[in-house]
Amino acid sequence: MDTGRFDCLIIGGGAAGLTAAVYMGRYKRRVLVLDDDGSRLNWIPRTRNVPGFPDGIEGPELLSRMRAHAAKYAIPTERTRVERLLCLEDGSFQAESAQGRWRARFVILATGARDVEPEIEGIPAALQAGQVRYCPICDGYETQGQRVAVLGRGRHGLRESLFIANWAREVTWLAMATQEEVDPRELARLRDAHVRIAASPPQRIECGVAGAGVRVDLQDGQVLEFDTIYPALGLHHACELATALGARARENGQLEVDAHQQTTVPGLYVAGDVAVDLNQISVATGHAAIAATAIHNRL
Protein backbone atom coordinates (compact mmCIF):
# COMPACT_ATOMS: atom_id res chain seq x y z
CA MET A 1 0.00 0.00 0.00
CA ASP A 2 1.38 3.46 -0.90
CA THR A 3 -0.78 6.32 0.34
CA GLY A 4 1.07 9.38 -0.99
CA ARG A 5 2.93 11.79 1.23
CA PHE A 6 1.87 12.90 4.72
CA ASP A 7 3.03 16.05 6.47
CA CYS A 8 4.17 13.93 9.39
CA LEU A 9 4.28 10.30 10.45
CA ILE A 10 3.90 9.64 14.17
CA ILE A 11 5.49 6.31 15.03
CA GLY A 12 4.06 5.10 18.35
CA GLY A 13 0.55 5.74 19.66
CA GLY A 14 1.04 6.01 23.42
CA ALA A 15 1.01 9.12 25.62
CA ALA A 16 3.45 11.06 23.43
CA GLY A 17 2.26 9.91 19.99
CA LEU A 18 -1.43 10.53 20.69
CA THR A 19 -0.72 13.99 22.12
CA ALA A 20 1.28 14.82 18.98
CA ALA A 21 -1.69 13.58 16.92
CA VAL A 22 -4.09 15.95 18.72
CA TYR A 23 -1.79 18.94 18.17
CA MET A 24 -1.23 18.07 14.51
CA GLY A 25 -4.97 17.53 14.00
CA ARG A 26 -5.73 20.92 15.48
CA TYR A 27 -3.07 22.46 13.19
CA LYS A 28 -5.01 20.78 10.32
CA ARG A 29 -1.99 18.84 9.14
CA ARG A 30 -2.10 15.52 7.29
CA VAL A 31 -0.68 12.95 9.69
CA LEU A 32 -0.77 9.21 10.28
CA VAL A 33 -0.14 7.31 13.52
CA LEU A 34 1.65 3.98 13.11
CA ASP A 35 1.33 1.98 16.32
CA ASP A 36 1.63 -1.63 17.43
CA ASP A 37 -0.44 -1.21 20.60
CA GLY A 38 2.13 -1.80 23.32
CA SER A 39 1.90 1.40 25.37
CA ARG A 40 3.26 1.29 28.93
CA LEU A 41 0.02 3.03 29.91
CA ASN A 42 -1.57 -0.44 29.67
CA TRP A 43 0.41 -1.56 32.74
CA ILE A 44 -0.56 1.27 35.07
CA PRO A 45 -3.14 0.12 37.64
CA ARG A 46 -3.93 3.75 38.54
CA THR A 47 -1.76 6.79 37.95
CA ARG A 48 -2.07 9.51 40.55
CA ASN A 49 0.29 12.21 39.27
CA VAL A 50 -1.35 13.19 35.97
CA PRO A 51 -2.66 16.75 36.22
CA GLY A 52 -6.46 17.03 36.25
CA PHE A 53 -7.15 13.61 37.83
CA PRO A 54 -7.07 14.21 41.61
CA ASP A 55 -8.38 10.69 42.32
CA GLY A 56 -6.11 9.13 39.71
CA ILE A 57 -7.02 7.28 36.53
CA GLU A 58 -6.35 3.75 35.33
CA GLY A 59 -3.70 3.59 32.61
CA PRO A 60 -5.86 1.75 30.03
CA GLU A 61 -8.69 4.25 30.61
CA LEU A 62 -6.29 7.18 30.06
CA LEU A 63 -5.05 5.52 26.86
CA SER A 64 -8.59 5.05 25.59
CA ARG A 65 -9.44 8.71 26.34
CA MET A 66 -6.29 9.84 24.51
CA ARG A 67 -7.28 7.72 21.50
CA ALA A 68 -10.80 9.23 21.55
CA HIS A 69 -9.23 12.69 21.72
CA ALA A 70 -7.09 12.05 18.61
CA ALA A 71 -10.11 10.48 16.83
CA LYS A 72 -12.00 13.77 17.31
CA TYR A 73 -9.68 15.29 14.71
CA ALA A 74 -10.04 12.24 12.43
CA ILE A 75 -6.38 11.25 12.76
CA PRO A 76 -5.97 7.84 11.09
CA THR A 77 -4.08 5.05 12.87
CA GLU A 78 -2.50 2.01 11.28
CA ARG A 79 -2.00 -0.95 13.65
CA THR A 80 1.42 -2.06 12.55
CA ARG A 81 5.01 -2.42 13.69
CA VAL A 82 7.37 -0.16 11.77
CA GLU A 83 10.43 -2.23 10.89
CA ARG A 84 12.45 0.32 8.95
CA LEU A 85 12.70 4.08 8.60
CA LEU A 86 14.49 5.55 5.60
CA CYS A 87 15.64 9.09 4.93
CA LEU A 88 15.08 9.82 1.22
CA GLU A 89 17.26 11.98 -1.03
CA ASP A 90 14.96 15.02 -0.72
CA GLY A 91 15.18 14.87 3.11
CA SER A 92 11.72 13.33 3.56
CA PHE A 93 11.11 9.95 5.27
CA GLN A 94 9.67 6.55 4.43
CA ALA A 95 8.43 4.14 7.11
CA GLU A 96 8.09 0.48 6.20
CA SER A 97 6.30 -2.42 7.84
CA ALA A 98 4.88 -5.78 6.80
CA GLN A 99 1.58 -3.95 6.07
CA GLY A 100 2.90 -1.20 3.80
CA ARG A 101 5.08 1.87 3.42
CA TRP A 102 4.33 5.51 4.11
CA ARG A 103 6.12 8.73 3.21
CA ALA A 104 6.19 12.08 5.01
CA ARG A 105 8.12 15.31 5.18
CA PHE A 106 8.68 14.87 8.96
CA VAL A 107 8.61 12.09 11.54
CA ILE A 108 7.86 12.14 15.27
CA LEU A 109 9.26 9.00 16.84
CA ALA A 110 7.28 8.18 20.01
CA THR A 111 8.16 4.52 20.42
CA GLY A 112 8.64 4.61 24.20
CA ALA A 113 10.56 2.14 26.32
CA ARG A 114 10.14 -1.28 27.93
CA ASP A 115 11.03 -2.27 31.47
CA VAL A 116 13.51 -5.11 31.77
CA GLU A 117 11.38 -7.74 33.52
CA PRO A 118 12.79 -9.81 36.35
CA GLU A 119 12.01 -13.47 36.85
CA ILE A 120 9.17 -13.12 39.30
CA GLU A 121 6.22 -15.48 39.43
CA GLY A 122 2.81 -13.91 38.79
CA ILE A 123 3.93 -10.45 37.60
CA PRO A 124 0.74 -9.28 35.79
CA ALA A 125 -1.52 -9.85 38.82
CA ALA A 126 1.14 -8.49 41.17
CA LEU A 127 1.36 -5.26 39.15
CA GLN A 128 -2.38 -4.75 39.51
CA ALA A 129 -2.17 -5.43 43.26
CA GLY A 130 0.71 -2.97 43.71
CA GLN A 131 3.04 -5.77 44.86
CA VAL A 132 5.33 -5.15 41.88
CA ARG A 133 5.98 -1.52 40.97
CA TYR A 134 8.35 -0.13 38.35
CA CYS A 135 8.45 3.59 38.92
CA PRO A 136 9.02 5.18 42.35
CA ILE A 137 8.63 8.66 40.85
CA CYS A 138 5.11 7.57 39.89
CA ASP A 139 4.01 5.66 42.97
CA GLY A 140 6.63 5.88 45.74
CA TYR A 141 4.08 7.97 47.65
CA GLU A 142 1.83 4.89 47.85
CA THR A 143 4.53 2.90 49.71
CA GLN A 144 4.37 5.00 52.88
CA GLY A 145 4.57 2.73 55.91
CA GLN A 146 5.33 -0.35 53.80
CA ARG A 147 8.16 -2.90 53.67
CA VAL A 148 9.78 -2.44 50.27
CA ALA A 149 12.42 -4.44 48.39
CA VAL A 150 14.47 -3.02 45.52
CA LEU A 151 15.91 -5.50 43.04
CA GLY A 152 18.75 -3.80 41.18
CA ARG A 153 22.45 -3.98 40.50
CA GLY A 154 25.24 -1.60 41.55
CA ARG A 155 24.76 2.13 41.62
CA HIS A 156 21.35 2.01 39.96
CA GLY A 157 19.90 -0.32 42.62
CA LEU A 158 21.51 1.71 45.38
CA ARG A 159 20.12 5.01 44.08
CA GLU A 160 16.62 3.59 43.71
CA SER A 161 16.78 2.23 47.29
CA LEU A 162 17.77 5.66 48.61
CA PHE A 163 15.02 7.32 46.58
CA ILE A 164 12.35 5.02 48.07
CA ALA A 165 13.66 5.44 51.60
CA ASN A 166 11.99 8.85 51.39
CA TRP A 167 8.61 7.12 51.95
CA ALA A 168 8.75 3.47 52.94
CA ARG A 169 8.89 2.15 56.53
CA GLU A 170 11.62 -0.38 55.67
CA VAL A 171 13.72 -0.64 52.52
CA THR A 172 15.85 -3.67 51.65
CA TRP A 173 18.21 -3.63 48.70
CA LEU A 174 18.40 -7.00 46.91
CA ALA A 175 21.81 -6.14 45.52
CA MET A 176 22.55 -9.45 43.78
CA ALA A 177 26.08 -9.36 45.24
CA THR A 178 26.93 -6.04 43.56
CA GLN A 179 27.27 -3.91 46.71
CA GLU A 180 31.07 -4.21 46.49
CA GLU A 181 30.96 -2.39 43.14
CA VAL A 182 29.71 0.89 44.60
CA ASP A 183 31.62 3.71 46.26
CA PRO A 184 31.89 3.16 50.06
CA ARG A 185 30.65 6.75 50.57
CA GLU A 186 27.44 5.80 48.81
CA LEU A 187 27.10 2.70 51.00
CA ALA A 188 27.42 5.00 54.01
CA ARG A 189 24.51 7.05 52.67
CA LEU A 190 22.44 3.86 52.54
CA ARG A 191 23.24 3.12 56.18
CA ASP A 192 22.29 6.68 57.17
CA ALA A 193 18.95 6.19 55.42
CA HIS A 194 18.45 2.86 57.29
CA VAL A 195 18.36 0.84 54.06
CA ARG A 196 19.29 -2.81 54.62
CA ILE A 197 21.27 -4.91 52.17
CA ALA A 198 20.09 -8.51 51.75
CA ALA A 199 22.77 -10.94 52.94
CA SER A 200 22.81 -12.98 49.73
CA PRO A 201 21.27 -12.83 46.21
CA PRO A 202 17.63 -13.83 45.72
CA GLN A 203 17.01 -17.37 44.51
CA ARG A 204 13.25 -17.13 43.99
CA ILE A 205 10.75 -14.29 44.16
CA GLU A 206 7.05 -15.01 44.45
CA CYS A 207 4.13 -12.54 44.57
CA GLY A 208 0.54 -12.95 45.72
CA VAL A 209 1.60 -15.23 48.58
CA ALA A 210 -1.23 -15.60 51.13
CA GLY A 211 -0.55 -13.44 54.18
CA ALA A 212 2.64 -11.97 52.67
CA GLY A 213 2.59 -9.89 49.52
CA VAL A 214 6.04 -10.74 48.20
CA ARG A 215 8.19 -13.63 49.39
CA VAL A 216 11.90 -13.68 48.58
CA ASP A 217 13.98 -16.81 49.14
CA LEU A 218 17.65 -15.91 49.39
CA GLN A 219 20.44 -18.24 48.30
CA ASP A 220 21.64 -18.57 51.91
CA GLY A 221 18.26 -20.04 52.93
CA GLN A 222 16.77 -16.89 54.54
CA VAL A 223 13.20 -15.98 53.64
CA LEU A 224 12.19 -12.30 53.48
CA GLU A 225 8.69 -10.83 53.15
CA PHE A 226 7.68 -7.48 51.67
CA ASP A 227 4.55 -5.52 50.76
CA THR A 228 6.07 -4.30 47.48
CA ILE A 229 9.06 -4.97 45.27
CA TYR A 230 10.57 -2.49 42.79
CA PRO A 231 12.56 -4.22 40.03
CA ALA A 232 15.22 -1.68 39.03
CA LEU A 233 16.83 -3.57 36.19
CA GLY A 234 16.65 -0.75 33.67
CA LEU A 235 14.67 0.11 30.57
CA HIS A 236 15.12 -0.67 26.92
CA HIS A 237 14.51 2.58 25.00
CA ALA A 238 13.09 1.85 21.53
CA CYS A 239 15.55 4.04 19.65
CA GLU A 240 16.67 1.68 16.84
CA LEU A 241 14.66 3.26 14.00
CA ALA A 242 16.44 6.56 14.72
CA THR A 243 19.92 5.28 15.47
CA ALA A 244 19.86 3.33 12.20
CA LEU A 245 19.65 6.76 10.51
CA GLY A 246 22.60 8.04 12.54
CA ALA A 247 20.69 9.82 15.32
CA ARG A 248 22.81 10.28 18.43
CA ALA A 249 21.70 8.42 21.55
CA ARG A 250 22.95 8.18 25.12
CA GLU A 251 24.43 4.91 26.34
CA ASN A 252 21.01 3.91 27.76
CA GLY A 253 19.36 4.37 24.34
CA GLN A 254 17.58 7.67 24.99
CA LEU A 255 17.82 9.93 21.94
CA GLU A 256 19.49 13.32 22.16
CA VAL A 257 17.42 16.30 21.02
CA ASP A 258 17.59 20.05 20.59
CA ALA A 259 15.23 22.52 22.28
CA HIS A 260 12.47 21.58 19.80
CA GLN A 261 12.82 17.79 20.24
CA GLN A 262 14.66 17.37 16.93
CA THR A 263 17.28 14.61 16.89
CA THR A 264 20.67 14.99 15.21
CA VAL A 265 18.92 13.79 12.00
CA PRO A 266 17.22 16.84 10.40
CA GLY A 267 13.44 16.40 10.26
CA LEU A 268 13.36 13.50 12.73
CA TYR A 269 11.79 14.51 16.04
CA VAL A 270 11.26 12.39 19.16
CA ALA A 271 8.87 12.56 22.12
CA GLY A 272 8.27 10.58 25.28
CA ASP A 273 10.30 7.85 26.98
CA VAL A 274 12.56 7.32 23.94
CA ALA A 275 13.94 10.88 24.28
CA VAL A 276 16.44 12.07 26.88
CA ASP A 277 14.37 13.09 29.91
CA LEU A 278 12.27 11.84 32.80
CA ASN A 279 10.04 8.88 31.84
CA GLN A 280 6.69 10.38 32.78
CA ILE A 281 3.33 10.93 31.10
CA SER A 282 3.40 14.69 31.66
CA VAL A 283 6.90 14.88 30.15
CA ALA A 284 5.85 12.76 27.15
CA THR A 285 2.89 15.03 26.43
CA GLY A 286 5.10 18.12 26.82
CA HIS A 287 7.66 16.77 24.36
CA ALA A 288 4.86 16.01 21.90
CA ALA A 289 3.44 19.53 22.10
CA ILE A 290 6.88 21.03 21.44
CA ALA A 291 7.73 18.68 18.55
CA ALA A 292 4.34 19.03 16.83
CA THR A 293 4.43 22.83 17.03
CA ALA A 294 8.01 23.00 15.73
CA ILE A 295 7.05 20.82 12.76
CA HIS A 296 3.88 22.82 12.06
CA ASN A 297 5.99 25.99 11.96
CA ARG A 298 8.34 24.41 9.40
CA LEU A 299 5.65 23.08 7.05
**Shortest distance (Å) from residue 155 CB to ligand FAD:** 22
Interaction of residue 142 with ligand FAD, rule CB under 6 A: no
Stretch that binds ligand FAD, among 38-46, 66-74, 176-184, 248-256 (CB under 6 A): 38-46
Interaction of residue 253 with ligand FAD, rule CB under 6 A: no
Q: For 253, what's the count of Cα atoms within 13 Å in the CB-facing half-sphere? A: 17
The only residue of 93, 134, 226, 230 in contact with ligand FAD, by rule CB under 6 A: 134
Question: Residue 269 to residues 4, 10, 30, 90, 241: CA-CA distances in angstroms?
Answer: 21, 9, 16, 17, 12
Distance, CA of 152 to CA of 136 (rounded, Å) = 13
Interaction of residue 24 with ligand FAD, rule CB under 6 A: no
The only residue of 9, 16, 126, 270 in contact with ligand FAD, by rule CB under 6 A: 16
Give the nearer residue to ligand FAD in terms of CB position, either 81 or 196.
81
- 3-class DSSP assignment, residue 24: helix
Give the nearer residue to ligand FAD in terms of CB position, either 44 or 198.
44
Q: Strands 212-218, 268-270: parallel, antiparallel or unpaired by DSSP?
A: unpaired
Residue count at the site for ligand FAD (CB under 6 A)? 38
Measured in whole angstroms, the distance separating CA 3 from the mean position of its chain's CA atoms is 31
Distance, CA of 263 to CA of 246 (rounded, Å) = 10
Burial of 54 (0-12, 13-18, 19+ CB in 10 A): exposed
Stretch that binds ligand FAD, among 99-107, 171-179, 201-209, 276-284 (CB under 6 A): 276-284
Question: Residue 121 to residues 208, 217, 250: CA-CA distances in angstroms?
Answer: 9, 12, 32
**Shortest distance (Å) from residue 133 CB to ligand FAD:** 7
Binding-site ranges for ligand FAD (CB under 6 A): 11-17, 34-41, 43-44, 47, 49, 81-82, 110-112, 115, 127, 134-135, 138-139, 238, 272-273, 279-282, 284
